[in-house]
Copies of this chain bind each other. A is one copy, B any other.
Amino acid sequence: MKIATKEKFSAILADLKSRQIDVALISDFENSRNKNIRYLCGHPSDAHLLLFADGSMTLIPWDQVMAKLMAEVDQVLDILNFDRSYKAALVSALKQKLGESFTLEVLPDERHFLVMQLHESFPKAKIVCRPDGVSDALINVRMVKTKAEIDILREGAKVTNQIINLIKPFVDSHRGLKEVDLAIYLETEMKKRGAEGPSFETLTANCTRSGMIHQVPSSSDAQLDLPGLALIDYGLWWKGYATDVTTPLIFGKLSPDQQKILDVNRKAYDIAIEMIKPGVAAHEIAEASIGYIESQGLIMPYSLGHGIGLEVHDPPRLAKKPTDPEVLKYWKPVILVPGMVFTVEPGISHPELGGCRIENDVVVTETGVEILTDSKPLFFA
């Protein structure tokens, strides 16, 4: 039940070989999640995975039963045979396959203490860690979805569209409702339709909160349908894959300044959608869409979009070219290719007038773009 196809696998192994890496370590535990284990071997979570340059894999899972059901690997080690020590199991697996001298790559976000322990256990080994190493190779394969992944994302989008269509009738029949009422309703309906749950805490913001960048709590006890610009940002897990949309909710008659926010947001969205096709650089789309908002004297304080997949924030990111020289050192433009699936979510934040954001999930096709979800501004008296 691994997700990576043969071609994806070959690309990752080619990266390891080209840099003389003998083995890569990937770790996924509570408080430090890493979906690459699921991607590479099907095991869902809570494990170390050793990916050797010859393509063989050793898994050291927390849950042996789960590993038997889900993991497609060459070897599963049971920590019970190592005094419950993950590190001892790792050391044993490495020694068995590679001896004492080898080159191990760890991901940039590996736990520092574990790397120290591995250094100590293998003084003759070389441990490599770089942001443009195997983590980049994994990002590169994961950001272009397989056919099976696109099928699941398409199903998830269908269910998301059913949820979108529930908003208007629910709000109309519950005027005076609280933000949290709509959030609870949509999340319940997601689960009733077979979603694993919301892909993140549903964010419902009335006109007094929609202009904030960060809403705490995500959905409050405040009345939702006060006149002005409100919004709801929500999504669901479908067979392990995330969807993510935002629907602007317009209550009453807008002031000219608020109307401008809505119009500029819509145009920024159209600019982005029209540019999406194979061969275009993601940062150029972000710069065009965000640049338009800024040219109108308005502010968009976040990125234009992000991939969706096994994570709500999957690769690629649609952001302006970074300015941090440290980041630029490792930065490469993302060129769109068919099979990339990401959100397009231009938005405007204004502390007094409120905020507006249209967000849909799209897939890059051979010739352009297909919009999977159908979120658009909803108008209420």
Query: Is A83 within 8 A of B129, CB to CB?
Result: no
Indicate whether A10 reaches chain B with its CB closer than 8 angstroms: no
A33-B31, A213-B65 in contact; A326/B112 too (CB < 8 A)?
no
- A interface with B by C-beta (< 8 Å): 30-34, 44, 63, 65-66, 82-85, 87-88, 106, 108-117, 129-131, 180, 183-184, 187-188, 191-192, 194, 196-197, 201, 212-214, 216-217, 221, 313, 322-327
A251 to B191, CA, bound (A): 25
A113 touches which of B108, B192, B216 (Cβ 8 Å): B108
Query: Is A214 within 8 A of B63, CB to CB?
Result: yes
CB distance from A185 to the nearest CB of B (A): 9
CB distance from A283 to the nearest CB of B (A): 14
CB distance from A50 to the nearest CB of B (A): 16
Q: Which residue of B has the minimal Cβ distance to A217?
A: B196
Contact residues in B for A31 (Cβ distance below 8 Å):
32-34, 109
Q: Which residue of B has the minimal Cβ distance to A191?
A: B184
Contact residues in B for A112 (Cβ distance below 8 Å):
106, 108-112, 115, 129
A180-B191, A214-B65, A217-B196 in contact; A326/B115 too (CB < 8 A)?
no
Question: Across chains A and B, which 5 residue pairs bring their CB atoms closest together, nearest first?
Answer: A108-B113, A83-B324, A85-B324, A109-B111, A112-B112
A292 to B116, CA, bound (A): 39
Contact residues in B for A192 (Cβ distance below 8 Å):
184
Query: Is B108 within 8 A of A216, CB to CB?
Result: no
A65-B212, A214-B65, A217-B196 in contact; A113/B84 too (CB < 8 A)?
no
Q: Name the residue among A30, A113, A326 with the largest chain B CB count within 10 angstroms.
A: A113
Query: Is A83 within 8 A of B32, CB to CB?
Result: no
CB distance from A311 to the nearest CB of B (A): 8
A83 touches which of B109, B115, B214, B323 (Cβ 8 Å): B323
Query: Is B85 within 8 A of A326, CB to CB?
Result: yes
A109 touches which of B32, B63, B201, B313 (Cβ 8 Å): B32
